[in-house]
Chains A and B, each alone.
Chain A
Amino acid sequence: MSDTSGKTDDFEVKATRQPEAVAEFEDTHRGLIGTVQHLLHVNPSLVPLIVLVASIVIFGLLLGTKFFSPFALTLILQQVQIVGIVAAAQSLVILTAGIDLSVGAIMVMSSVVMGQFTFRYGIPVEISVACGLLCGALIGFVNGWLVARVKLPPFIVTLGMWQIVLATNFLYSANETIRSQDIEAQAPLLQFFGNTIQLGGARLTFGVVFMLVLVFVLAYALKHTAWGRHVYAVGDDPEAAELSGVNVKRTLISVYALAGLICAFAGWALIGRIGSVSPTSGQLANIESITAVVIGGISLFGGRGSIMGTLFGALIVGVFTLGLRLWGADAQWTYLLIGVLIIAAVGVDQWIRKVSV
């Protein structure tokens, strides 16, 4: 009897004497679909990249050199530059499990401020541009402050801000367009992002270059800086982030303010793209940016996805738009296919979420 009681007492001691080798498991149960699922889980931007390459190949086969030329392919870049820049801003916000419906309005408002400050008040164009950028950042800051400090839902805050900013934009600009010729003659800096670089048949505008640089800089910041890790942590689980030492409020405000600033840059690029300053342009930018983000595989629930995916998402929309137009299809087919892609993208997101390996 005394023997057995002695044995039961030291079972915990026995447990500590187990070999301490790293456990290794053979990975046979996964199969092909499982492997694909795992790969996508690790690299969420792979799905949009595959779709992008596939759609370029398909349209290339259907349309031949009409589509598969440096000119047409760089034309796609020019057509998506505005949405691409705005979608980069949208990605940051959606990564924090928020949404920004006011991106398009901020963009137009900023471009109007840049134009009107120059032409109405005669302020030097450099200062006007700085004021426009400041205006965008400020609106973003107010969004962030309302979301982080007052704790209002991002959807409501930015829905309200969208209306406020858009109305202010029309009231302030008196619905006047500043003509392209006037800008060209008096303030060419406003059209800075419209300048082009010619490389053979390829035409790149400064706006396209800016979009690409912006995406790479943000991808770096999200992956390799503490701020980027905090953005993901806040989107994943704000309470956990707060308890583990992230300043959640400051992170949220910085994200919304930065998104506002990026939208202001998009407003500047918009002047370069259309030539004039028009208070009625860019009305669909918010929906188009959300579309690019969703197709790009960033989860609307926050904390998952990569900004490269957003770039691919924007390009997919561009490829479909131009490809179907060159093919002579009705423009409605583009919207139909984009709709299918959105639903498919969210379906894939849910599927790869199930893998916890």
Chain B
Amino acid sequence: MEPILKGRNLVKRYGRVTALDHCDFDLMPGEILAVIGDNGAGKSSLIKAVSGAVIPDDGEVWLEGRKVNFTSPIDARNEGIETVYQTLAMSPALSIADNMFMGREIRKPGFRGKWMRQLDRAEMERLAREKLTELGLMTIQNINQAVETLSGGQRQGVAVARAAAFGSKVIILDEPTAALGVKESRRVLELIMDVKSRGIPIILISHNMPHVFEVADRIHVHRLGKRLCVIDPKDYTMSDAVAFMTGAKEPPSEDAAA
């Protein structure tokens, strides 16, 4: 089967630091691929390289068998790749609805939208509320409240809802449950399964091994800027995975799982 999103020989250097060292990456259609690795292993750089947030120094990215050159996150978004970044990428002073529709605002129909470029606030608010309710973020009282007034978990929920609402080919989640409470984490995991059942593949970066082992179909273990191995969570335990990513245990040979 051809991977939907594929990275080959990716290299990214920041000065003397090599974040990606000839790294390969494969995401199969319809799967949940977890990416795990120690801090500084280059997980985020890898994700940014395939989502357009950084331009790799070398290497190729392929989407659905076609070579793509993302020069900005907007390019990746236009191709249907949505990312929830660790920093969440929200404008604190703007409202939840404004943030969810940032860069793809809905304009009013007819003259007011076409010529006066007027935004359709009511429609955007309705859709935003719908998406948040789907996620079970009912504790948000007012869709027009500024994002800076939300708790960390609520912000993360809004960011995940935004990605789930607009991602059509690939959804990338960078530590989506890190700041969430038990209940919200559960919702996000349910949402991940829900998105998967719609046939959209997901890349999940997480340090939370129980979550990873619960939802992932395959686990990409990242170490020292490279793909160390890809394992099937059914064949290994959590402590095996941790041992691989910290270098305490030799990885299985590549072809065993991939």
Contacts and interface: CB of A to CB of B under 8 A. Distances in A.
Interface of A: 11-12, 15-16, 18, 20-24, 220-221, 224-227, 229-230, 232-233, 236-237, 239-247, 303-304, 356-357
The listed residue with most A CB atoms (<10 A of its CB), out of B92, B103, B119, B149, is B103
Interface string B164-191: 0000000000000000001101110000
Given A15-B186, A20-B138, A224-B118, A242 B91 contact: no
B44 to A, nearest CB: 12
A20 B107 CA distance: 32
B192 to A, nearest CB: 14
A245 B77 contact: yes
The listed residue with most A CB atoms (<10 A of its CB), out of B98, B102, B183, is B102
What DSSP secondary structure best describes chain B's contact surface?
A: loop
A236 B148 CA distance: 11
A225 B118 contact: yes
Given A224-B116, A241-B102, A246-B102, 13 more contacts: A15-B183, A16-B136, A16-B183, A23-B138, A226-B117, A232-B91, A236-B93, A240-B88, A241-B91, A242-B72, A243-B53, A244-B103, A357-B149
B66 interface: no
A356 B98 CA distance: 18
B182 A12 contact: yes
A258 B74 CA distance: 24
A44 to B, nearest CB: 10
Nearest to A25: B141
Contacts of B98: 229, 233
Contact of A243 (B73, B92, B94, B148): B73
Interface of B: 53, 72-74, 77, 83, 85, 87-94, 98-99, 102-105, 107, 116-119, 121, 136, 138-139, 141, 148-149, 162, 182-183, 185-187
B93 A227 contact: no
Given A20-B138, A22-B138, A23-B139, A244 B90 contact: yes
Contacts of A20: 136, 138
What DSSP secondary structure best describes chain A's contact surface?
A: helix
B138 A240 contact: no
A245 B117 contact: no
A239 B89 contact: yes
3 cross-chain pairs, A with B, having the tightest CB-CB distances, nearest first: A245-B103, A243-B89, A226-B105
B90 A303 contact: no
A220 B118 CA distance: 9
A244 B139 CA distance: 24
A69 B105 CA distance: 46
Contact of A233 (B72, B91, B118): B91
B83 A243 contact: yes
Contact of A304 (B72, B93, B118, B185): B93
16 contacts: A16-B186, A221-B117, A225-B116, A226-B105, A226-B119, A229-B94, A232-B93, A237-B92, A240-B90, A241-B89, A244-B90, A244-B91, A244-B102, A245-B73, A245-B77, A356-B149
